[in-house]
Amino acid sequence: MTAVLQTTPTAEPVANYRLSLRRFTRNKLAVAGLAVVVLFLLFCFVGPLLYSTDQTHTDLTQVNLGPGGSHWLGTDAVGHDELGRLMYGGKVSMLVGLAAGVLATVIGTLWGATAGYAGGWLDAVMMRIVDAGIAIPALFILLVVSAITTPDTLGLIIVLGLVSWLVPSRLVRAETLTLKSRDYVLTLRATGGTHGRAIRRHILPNSVSTIVVAATFQVADAILLVAYVSYLGLGVQPPKTDWGGMLSAGLTAAYSGRWWLIVPPGLAIILVVCAFNAIGDGLRDAFDVRGRG
């Protein structure tokens, strides 16, 4: 009955964010992940300034060259320089991934927070819709969409956002449910505070860490999903490309030994997705919030 305060001994009171920062920097994988993301951003956005290549015109005199010489990573079947193309495709992959991940998190946050705070039948209906959405595999929807239309980059971001907001919505709903029964929210409500105030001043600010962690994982998933999009026939159209497009274009070439067409984009995808996952893991432990395992 008497809940004696369980105190964990701490040497000194440390501001919250500094403790989080310290925990994050101690996670070696997370720090490595952050470094990888920064390096790839530099590579894709600053790289082309230092290593300039023509990625819009085909050059049929320079097709299928192996790595070496003036083309460090060789060329593809229409004569694009592979290293330059890796930078060029990375821009699309990372921009679309980031935008779609953020969009999914925003939709998921609004949906989940509304359902969790409202509770009752509205919550039940909204969560059944989420269940239904989760029941339809994203790849199947993307393939159906690809059978209907070929979207542009903005359309792609919207489609990817629309198929991946479900998981963050469940996380945010769970967080909202916990927060709305916190003593400080009850106190606010009992002394005449409005719902709007409870949401604005307490629930949203306190969900920020959960949302940031969810967004990080969501970006990782979205970049991975972008890699599937070309494979499913939904990708950006040539001469534009992304890492997934390079990978699926190089699939058949790989069987005839032209490994340089698939290994660089494949590794790039793996590294960047790993990096975002590691950052998410580190942030989750640093903020001490729940998120996916």
Partner 1 sequence: MKETEELKVANILEVEDLGVTFGTDTGDVPAVREVSLHVRPGETLALVGESGSGKSTVALAAMGLLPSNARASGRVSVDGTQVVGAGEAELARLRGRTASMVFQEPATALDPLTRVGAQIAEVVRNHRSVSRAEAAREAVELLRRVGIPEPERRASAFPFQLSGGQRQRVVIAMAIANSPGLLIADEPTTALDVTVQAEILDLLRALAADSGTGVLLVTHNMGVVADFADRVAVMLNGEVVESGSVEQVLLHPEHEYTQRLLEAVPRLEVEAPVVESVPREVAGEPVVEKAEPATPEGEAVVELRGVSVRFGRGPGAVQALQEVSLTVRPGETVGLVGESGSGKSTAARVALGLVAPAGGTVSLFGRELGRTRGRARRALLSGVGVVLQDPVASLDARMSVGECVAEPLRMHRRGLSAAERRARVAEVLERVRLPRELAGRGPRELSGGQRQRVSLARALVLEPRLLVADEPTSALDVSVQRTVLEVIAELQGELGFACLFVSHDLAVVQQFAQRVVVMRAGQVEEQGPTMTTLLRPETEYTRRLIAAVPVPDPVMQRRRREALRTGVTA
Partner 2 sequence: METLVYLARRVLQSLVVILIVTVVVFCLLHALPGGPARGILGPQATAQQIASFNHEQGLDRPLPVQYVYYLGTLLHGDLGTSYTLNEAVSKLIEQRLPKTLVLTVLSALVGLLLAIPLGMWQAVRRNKPTDYVITTLSFVAYSTPVYFLGLILVLVFTQTLHWFPSQAPQGDTLAQVFADPVGLVLPVVTGAASMIAVFSRYMRASTLENLSEDYVRTARAGGARQGAILFRHVFRNSLTPVIAMLGYYVPVLFGGALVVEQLFNYPGMGLLFWSAAQSSDYPVLLGCVLVISVATVVGTLLADVVQRIVDPRVKAGQA
* Residues in contact with partner 2 by the rule CB under 8 A: 28-29, 128-129, 131-141, 143-144, 146-149, 220, 224, 227-228, 231-233, 244, 247-248, 251, 254-255, 262, 266, 269-271, 273-274, 277-278, 293
* Measured distance CA(98)–CA(23) in Å, rounded: 25
Nearer to partner 1, 2 or 56 (CB): 2
* Measured distance CA(41)–CA(161) in Å, rounded: 22
CB 8, min distance to partner 1, A: 8
The residue to which tokens 């790849």 are assigned: 139
CB 20, min distance to partner 1, A: 10
The two tokens of residue 156 are 């792609």
Out of partner 2, partner 1, none, what residue 274 binds, judged by CB under 5 to 8 A for its kind, is partner 2
Assess contact for 204 and 48: CB atoms under 8 A: no
The two tokens of residue 232 are 């499913």
Burial readout 36-59 (b: 16 or more C-beta within 10 A, e: otherwise):
bbeebbebbeebbeeeebebeeee
Cross-strand partners of 81: 75
Out of partner 2, partner 1, none, what residue 8 binds, judged by CB under 5 to 8 A for its kind, is partner 1
The residue to which tokens 């593809």 are assigned: 76
Nearer to partner 2, 73 or 199 (CB): 73
Nearer to partner 2, 49 or 148 (CB): 148
Of 233, 231, 215, 230, nearest in space to 277 by CA? 215
CB 228, min distance to partner 2, A: 6
List the interface residues with partner 1, window 7-36 (CB under 8 A). Answer: 7-16, 19, 22-23
Cross-strand partners of 75: 81
The two tokens of residue 178 are 């916990």
Nearer to partner 2, 42 or 147 (CB): 147
Out of partner 2, partner 1, none, what residue 143 binds, judged by CB under 5 to 8 A for its kind, is partner 2
Residue 293 lies near partner 1 (rule: CB under 8 A): no
CB 54, min distance to partner 2, A: 27
Assess contact for 92 and 235: CB atoms under 8 A: no
| C-alpha to C-alpha distances, 71 to 64, 68, 84, nearest whole angstrom | 11, 6, 9
The two tokens of residue 186 are 């009850």
List the interface residues with partner 1, window 221-240 (CB under 8 A). Answer: none
Nearer to partner 1, 26 or 128 (CB): 26
CB-count burial class (<10 Å; 0-12, 13-18, 19+) for 220:
buried
CB 176, min distance to partner 1, A: 15
Out of partner 1, partner 2, none, what residue 202 binds, judged by CB under 5 to 8 A for its kind, is partner 1
* Measured distance CA(124)–CA(149) in Å, rounded: 33
Out of partner 2, partner 1, none, what residue 113 binds, judged by CB under 5 to 8 A for its kind, is none
Which among 28-36, 62-70, 93-101, 177-185 is the span making contact with partner 1, rule CB under 8 A? 177-185
Q: Which residues bind partner 1 (CB under 8 A)?
A: 1-16, 19, 22-23, 182-184, 186-194, 197, 201-202, 205-206
